[in-house]
Chain A
Amino acid sequence: MATTTKTPARTATRLDVPKTYKLFIGGAFPRSESGRVTEVLDKRGAFVANVAKASRKDARDAVRAARKAQPGWAGATAYNRGQVLYRVAEVLEGRKAQFVDELQRTEGLTAARAQQQVEAAIDLWVLHAGWTDKVAQIGGHANPVAGPYFNLSVPEPTGVVAIIAPQEQGLLGLTSVVAPALVTGNAVVVVPAAASPLVAISLAEVLATSDLPGGVVNVLTGDPAELAPWLAGHADINALDLTGAGDLDWVELEVIAADTLKRVLRPEPGLAPETPQRILALTETKTVWHTKSRL
């Protein structure tokens, strides 16, 4: 006997199910410990979603998670890191529609412009996936020395990197700073663009389902001006990427960061994106001496 499933007739309008966008810390999606949220409105002033507003204690927890995850990520083979970053691109590709929709709502873009941005971000992940096992050839050297030694310099990840992401083009800007840090094995605590929190947390959902170990990327939606000084002063952060901090008092942030000898990337003039130099800016150089054997 054939049965047919019929959609029940819609007599009343269906209720909206708005999503609460929470933070991304240590592979989980907690609310802010402060309990604060920010209301996100679209360009016409209609309610879109509540987004968690991170506090300094969330930043502290994120740094702790990043510190814990960093050795494992740096210890993975470059080939494996490349696979994971490529996987991010794959998963992003499958969820393109969601990102296009969120960009249209928060940044007021046309569908075409939003799609362009999402595709550029996907391509950027693919680009960085390719660099994982190649950047050492660009940044490493065999140094000539006056003695019977091999002398080799190789780039090593600097450790935990705090990033203030660019304030324009939420998804592409975020990708352009997070992906280069991940290539060599850094762990990241990132404050995304204040105006585009939705795509940042959706990207976190993509990262969480792309075999990226929990804690390697931590996303703190909130006010960059509030969080940046705490990140700049935190003694367990090794580098501070201020690419998106052009509107903040970034000189003061650099001064704070100097107390703990952090590597600082300034917003001005900034480094050209999509270059190996952008990736190598967040590495240390390790030099090893090895005797030449006399067989």
Chain B
Amino acid sequence: MTTPSAALAPAERAVQLLGGDLSEVALRRHLEGLPAVDAVGLEARAASLGTRSIKTSSKQAALDLTIRMIDLTTLQGNDTRGKVHSLVAKALVPDASDPSTPRPAAVCVYGDMVGNAVEALGSAWSNGRDDGINVAAVATAFPSGRASLPVKLQDTRDAVAAGADEIDMVIDRGAFLEGNYGKVFDEIVATKEACRRTDGTFAHLKVILETGELVTYDNVRRASWLSILAGGDFIKTSTGKVQPAATLPVTLLMLQVVRDWERLTGERIGVKPAGGIATAKDAMKYLVTVAETCGEAWLDPHLFRFGASSLLNDVLLQRQKLTTGRYSGPDYVTID
């Protein structure tokens, strides 16, 4: 499954929105001019969206959609080729007891494991088609982002050259918190450029905000706008290495930015909550939030993803419960 990159040229969106003389001053004026977030209202809205009860056929559809939206992830220091192979095997056949189970959207690994993932996927690798499994790679000195720009760009180019269809980059949170928006912007633009393949197409760029380190909702809103203006195809909440990771209010806020961007430009940006979403019940709260905020068009793996590892097993257990009418247990799914 492949999504054509939304941006024609990296900084074009910013030029169109902020005017020809794209300067840090103009960027700052825009970002700091964004309305402040009503935190209490946001959290109350997220909480109320989390109370919907979803039953029977809707639940079945939601579970299958959740699986199709998962970026099945392993990002550990002790990842081995064998571990990446078993991750890919899980993506290819999520539930051996039910061949009708859909496959996740992508497998997400560290940059040096991209080659292994591509090899393990074999013919199931999307490689530009719309019906396979993508390989996503984290890049730019993930998870901290503390490296020089040339190192980050080389990290990205290596992953793209090895076959990564999607790049999950981290922003420089230190620079962002210092108010150095221009530096963050330039890094995203440069990384986007580094996503260019030899044939001129771009690997899909997901920009990780690491909302847990941005502290305030206002910062999350600014960082979301900044990432979209700089050319991100997706905005992603977290690396999964920092607590709190994805929360429903933060995701709702980012979905609101994406909705506003679509109203402004007609262009659709994706959102990916990652980290801490471990149950099918949680996942369904996110789906409700997506549909209620951006509309049902966003209930699509091209526009919404879950970054998760243990979520898949829980969804499979719920799926088995719906199929058999009896509660299933962890003995009936793989140990990851």
Give A residues with C-beta under 8 Å from B. 60, 63, 67, 230, 233-237, 259-260
Q: Give B321-336 interface residues, CB cut-off 8 Å to A.
A: 325-332
A230 touches B327 (CB 8 A): yes
Tally B residues with Cβ within 8 Å of A.
9
Chain A residue numbers with a CB within 8 Å of B331 are: 235-236
In this complex, the member of A63, A230, A260 whose beta carbon has the largest number of chain B beta carbons within 10 angstroms is: A260
Apart from A67-B330, A236-B329, list 14 A-B contacts with CB within 8 A: A63-B327, A67-B329, A233-B325, A233-B327, A234-B329, A235-B320, A235-B326, A235-B327, A235-B329, A235-B332, A236-B327, A236-B328, A236-B331, A260-B326
CB A83 to nearest CB in B, in angstroms, measures 30
Q: Can you list 20 A-B contacts (CB < 8 A)?
A: A60-B327, A63-B327, A63-B329, A67-B329, A230-B326, A233-B325, A233-B326, A233-B327, A234-B326, A235-B320, A235-B326, A235-B327, A235-B328, A235-B329, A235-B331, A236-B328, A236-B329, A236-B330, A259-B326, A260-B326
In this complex, the member of A234, A235, A236 whose beta carbon has the largest number of chain B beta carbons within 10 angstroms is: A235
CB B81 to nearest CB in A, in angstroms, measures 30
In the complex, the chain B residue whose C-beta lies closest to that of A259 is B326
Chain B residue numbers with a CB within 8 Å of A63 are: 327, 329
In the complex, the chain B residue whose C-beta lies closest to that of A233 is B326
Chain A residue numbers with a CB within 8 Å of B325 are: 233
Interface digits, B206-218 against A, CB 8 Å rule (1 contact, 0 not)?
Answer: 0000000000000
Chain B residue numbers with a CB within 8 Å of A67 are: 329-330
CB A222 to nearest CB in B, in angstroms, measures 16
In the complex, the chain A residue whose C-beta lies closest to that of B327 is A234
Q: What secondary structure prevails in chain A residues at the interface with B?
A: loop
In the complex, the chain A residue whose C-beta lies closest to that of B326 is A233
CB B326 to nearest CB in A, in angstroms, measures 4
A63 to B328: give the CA distance in the assembly, Å.
11
CB A270 to nearest CB in B, in angstroms, measures 26
Chain B residue numbers with a CB within 8 Å of A259 are: 326
In the complex, the chain A residue whose C-beta lies closest to that of B328 is A235
A237 to B327: give the CA distance in the assembly, Å.
10
Chain B residue numbers with a CB within 8 Å of A233 are: 325-327
In this complex, the member of B320, B326, B327, B332 whose beta carbon has the largest number of chain A beta carbons within 10 angstroms is: B327
A-B pairs, 7 with minimum CB distance? A236-B329, A233-B326, A235-B329, A234-B327, A235-B328, A60-B327, A235-B332
Chain A residue numbers with a CB within 8 Å of B332 are: 235
Chain B residue numbers with a CB within 8 Å of A236 are: 327-331
In the complex, the chain A residue whose C-beta lies closest to that of B320 is A235
Chain B residue numbers with a CB within 8 Å of A234 are: 326-327, 329
CB A189 to nearest CB in B, in angstroms, measures 12
A60 to B329: give the CA distance in the assembly, Å.
10
A71 to B44: give the CA distance in the assembly, Å.
39
Chain A residue numbers with a CB within 8 Å of B327 are: 60, 63, 230, 233-236
In the complex, the chain B residue whose C-beta lies closest to that of A63 is B327
A235 to B325: give the CA distance in the assembly, Å.
11
Chain A residue numbers with a CB within 8 Å of B320 are: 235
A259 to B328: give the CA distance in the assembly, Å.
12
Chain B residue numbers with a CB within 8 Å of A237 are: 329
A212 to B303: give the CA distance in the assembly, Å.
48
Chain A residue numbers with a CB within 8 Å of B329 are: 63, 67, 234-237
A235 to B330: give the CA distance in the assembly, Å.
9
In the complex, the chain B residue whose C-beta lies closest to that of A229 is B326
A75 to B332: give the CA distance in the assembly, Å.
23
A237 to B332: give the CA distance in the assembly, Å.
12
In the complex, the chain B residue whose C-beta lies closest to that of A232 is B326
Chain B residue numbers with a CB within 8 Å of A60 are: 327
CB A263 to nearest CB in B, in angstroms, measures 15
A63 to B325: give the CA distance in the assembly, Å.
16
A260 to B329: give the CA distance in the assembly, Å.
10
In this complex, the member of B320, B329, B331 whose beta carbon has the largest number of chain A beta carbons within 10 angstroms is: B329
A85 to B331: give the CA distance in the assembly, Å.
30
A233 to B328: give the CA distance in the assembly, Å.
9
A260 to B328: give the CA distance in the assembly, Å.
10
A228 to B283: give the CA distance in the assembly, Å.
30
CB B9 to nearest CB in A, in angstroms, measures 52
Chain B residue numbers with a CB within 8 Å of A230 are: 326-327
Chain A residue numbers with a CB within 8 Å of B330 are: 67, 236
A230 to B324: give the CA distance in the assembly, Å.
12
A81 to B332: give the CA distance in the assembly, Å.
30
A230 to B325: give the CA distance in the assembly, Å.
9
In the complex, the chain B residue whose C-beta lies closest to that of A234 is B327
CB B29 to nearest CB in A, in angstroms, measures 51
A97 to B226: give the CA distance in the assembly, Å.
69
A230 to B330: give the CA distance in the assembly, Å.
17
In the complex, the chain B residue whose C-beta lies closest to that of A60 is B327
A236 to B327: give the CA distance in the assembly, Å.
8
In the complex, the chain A residue whose C-beta lies closest to that of B332 is A235
CB B96 to nearest CB in A, in angstroms, measures 15
In the complex, the chain B residue whose C-beta lies closest to that of A56 is B327
In this complex, the member of A60, A67, A236 whose beta carbon has the largest number of chain B beta carbons within 10 angstroms is: A236
A236 to B320: give the CA distance in the assembly, Å.
13
CB A191 to nearest CB in B, in angstroms, measures 16
CB A253 to nearest CB in B, in angstroms, measures 13
Q: Give B81-119 interface residues, CB cut-off 8 Å to A.
A: none
CB A60 to nearest CB in B, in angstroms, measures 5
CB B116 to nearest CB in A, in angstroms, measures 33
Q: Give B297-336 interface residues, CB cut-off 8 Å to A.
A: 320, 325-332
A260 to B324: give the CA distance in the assembly, Å.
12
Chain B residue numbers with a CB within 8 Å of A235 are: 320, 326-329, 331-332
